């Protein structure tokens, strides 16, 4: 398996990875907002969803199918639970990779109750036959269950109770159009602003009984890469530090010291992210340099640099992928406390290829 942004080479989970680790799973249930009012940020999606749910409630029916797209850890599972809670309906949770055969899906669908919410995480990873069964289930609340094999096989139609499908995907673009078109509402989840993450940290600290100052919450928020899951994880590590090395209270200084121990810098970069930038600046004058050369310079696999470190560096505007290779932006020089090279006179090719 190739590495991704969330797991460094070697397998250990990254403190700043956005995919849930075992500890996250254990504590996240306690930290999830329970209704739309408690859900922080995502103003647009929240308002649109509020309208969809209110209208469905007023009609006394089930809500339209909902597709939530966005990076891991932004709150898709949480929102699906909120949709069920707001509709006063039970929720069934499963995921695309768990449904490999159409029969797996048929057995889930046929056991749904009236109005139930079915949360299908990673919906883009479902098998094709299951996907085709889902089209009919979403549109007509009916599936054809095939009994037998070969020429003697018969399709038995099975009526389903009305239900709301909430699909979640990190890659909306990978969904086949017929599937995408069957959702009545699509919400795209954005990365969170620091002020919103500060509220997430403050709220979680309250639930975990951690005393924290506003500045302490801001310090953690600024290092959380726009992602509530990372904010909650960093809060737990800072809490440990505050307990062991101080009086348990999370101030700005304590948060900064703790995250220095864990090598997460003021902008949320970790050791690997910084190693890539440092090599780019110190060994290659800021680039352009080929990916393979850069990977050798930091002693990592090419895939690790490309899939683990680069996405966040690109998102932060610290690194650019150009046809001639990787280039550090002026912001990268500033972030590592260095002065970017002077731009060449107009008309002459320079470091940044202009």
Active-site choice (7, 77, 164, 304) = 77
- The whole-angstrom separation of Cα 56 and Cα 72 is 28
**DSSP secondary structure, 236-272, as one string:** HHHHHHHHHHSSS-B-HHHHHHHHHHTT--TTS--HH
Site string for ligand ATP, 209-228 (x = CB under 6 A): -------------------x
DSSP letter, residue 4: B
Is position 25 annotated as part of the catalytic site?
no
Contact pick of 39, 163, 183, 241 for ligand ATP (by CB under 6 A): 39
Contact pick of 3, 8, 17, 41 for ligand ATP (by CB under 6 A): 41
**DSSP secondary structure, 25-81, as one string:** HHHHHHHS--STTT--S-HHHHHHHHHHHHHHHHHTSPPPPEEEE--TTSSHHHHHH
Active-site choice (76, 223, 225, 239) = 76
Rounded alpha-carbon distances, angstroms, from residue 196 to 70, 88, 191, 254: 17, 27, 10, 21
Q: Least CB distance from residue 87 to ligand ATP, whole Å?
A: 18
- Token pair for residue 150? 């070969």
Contact pick of 73, 222, 287, 288 for ligand ATP (by CB under 6 A): 73
> Judged by CB under 6 A, does residue 287 bind ligand ATP?
no
Q: Compute φ and ψ for 95, nearest 5 degrees.
A: -145, 160
Is position 50 annotated as part of the catalytic site?
no
CB 252 within 8 A of CB 218: yes
Q: Which residues are annotated as a binding site for ATP?
A: 31-32, 73, 76-78, 139-141, 182, 192, 229
Nearest Cα to 60, choosing from 141, 115, 17, 15? 115
Active-site choice (7, 62, 170, 251) = 170
Contact pick of 40, 105, 120, 197 for ligand ATP (by CB under 6 A): 40
> Judged by CB under 6 A, does residue 20 bind ligand ATP?
yes
Site string for ligand ATP, 112-141 (x = CB under 6 A): ---------x--------------------
Q: Please list every residue from 74 through 103 that binds ligand ATP, using CB under 6 A.
A: 74-78
Positions that interact with ligand ATP (CB under 6 A): 19-20, 28, 31-33, 39-41, 72-78, 121, 200, 228-229, 232
């Amino acid at each position: 398996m190739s590495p991704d942004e969330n797991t460094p080479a070697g397998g250990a989970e990254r403190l700043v990875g956005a995919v849930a680790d075992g500890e996250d799973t254990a504590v996240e249930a306690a930290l999830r907002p329970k209704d739309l009012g408690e859900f922080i940020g995502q103003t647009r999606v929240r308002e649109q969803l509020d309208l969809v749910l209110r209208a469905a409630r007023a009609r006394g029916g089930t809500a339209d199918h909902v597709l939530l797209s966005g990076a891991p850890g932004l709150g898709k599972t949480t929102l699906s639970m909120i949709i069920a809670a707001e509709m006063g309906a039970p929720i069934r949770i499963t995921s695309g990779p768990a449904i490999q055969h159409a029969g797996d899906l048929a057995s889930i669908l046929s056991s749904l109750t009236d109005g139930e919410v079915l949360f299908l995480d990673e919906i883009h990873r479902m098998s094709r036959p299951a996907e085709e069964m889902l089209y009919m289930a979403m549109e007509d609340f009916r599936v054809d269950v095939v009994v037998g094999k070969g020429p003697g096989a018969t399709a038995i139609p099975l009526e389903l109770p009305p239900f709301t499908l909430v699909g979640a995907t990190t890659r909306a673009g990978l969904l086949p159009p017929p599937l995408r078109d069957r959702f009545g509402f699509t919400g795209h989840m954005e990365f969170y602003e620091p002020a919103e993450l500060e509220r997430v940290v403050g709220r979680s600290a309250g639930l975990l009984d951690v005393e924290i100052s506003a500045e302490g919450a801001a310090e953690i928020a600024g290092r959380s890469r726009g992602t509530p899951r990372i904010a909650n994880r960093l809060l737990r590590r800072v809490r440990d530090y505050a307990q062991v090395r101080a009086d348990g209270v999370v101030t700005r200084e304590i948060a900064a010291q703790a995250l220095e121990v864990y090598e997460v810098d003021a902008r949320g970069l970790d050791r690997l992210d910084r190693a890539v930038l440092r090599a780019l600046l110190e060994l290659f004058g800021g680039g352009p340099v080929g990916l393979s050369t850069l990977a050798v310079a930091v002693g990592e696999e090419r895939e690790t640099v490309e899939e683990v470190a680069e996405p966040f560096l690109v998102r932060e505007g610290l690194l650019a992928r150009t046809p001639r290779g990787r280039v550090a932006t002026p912001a990268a020089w500033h972030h590592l406390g260095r002065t970017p090279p002077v731009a060449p006179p107009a008309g002459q090719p320079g470091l940044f290829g202009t």
